[in-house]
Chains A and B, each alone.
Chain A
Amino acid sequence: NAGVTQTPKFRILKIGQSMTLQCTQDMNHNYMYWYRQDPGMGLKLIYYSVGAGITDKGEVPNGYNVSRSTTEDFPLRLELAAPSQTSVYFCASSYSFSAEQYFGPGTRLTVT
Chain B
Amino acid sequence: GQNIDQPTEMTATEGAIVQINCTYQTSGFNGLFWYQQHAGEAPTFLSYNVLDGLEEKGRFSSFLSRSKGYSYLLLKELQMKDSASYLCAASPYNTDKLIFGTGTRLQVFP
Which residues of chain A have a CB within 8 Å of any CB of chain B? 31, 33, 35, 40-45, 48, 50, 56, 58, 90, 97-98, 100-106
Contact = CB atoms under 8 A, between A and B. Distances in A.
A5 to B, nearest CB: 11
Given A97-B97, A100-B48, A101-B98, A90 B87 contact: no
Given A41-B103, A90-B42, A98-B48, 7 more contacts: A42-B102, A43-B43, A44-B100, A97-B95, A97-B97, A101-B43, A103-B44
Contacts, number: 53
Interface residues of B, number: 23
21 contacts: A35-B100, A40-B105, A41-B102, A41-B103, A43-B87, A43-B89, A45-B97, A45-B98, A45-B99, A48-B96, A90-B42, A90-B43, A97-B30, A97-B95, A97-B97, A101-B43, A101-B45, A102-B45, A103-B42, A105-B41, A106-B42
Interface in B14-69: 30-31, 33, 41-45, 48, 50
A103 B97 contact: no
B96 A31 contact: yes
Contacts of A43: 43, 87, 89, 100
Q: 5 tightest A-B contacts by CB?
A: A103-B42, A100-B45, A97-B96, A42-B100, A42-B102
Nearest to A6: B42
B74 to A, nearest CB: 19
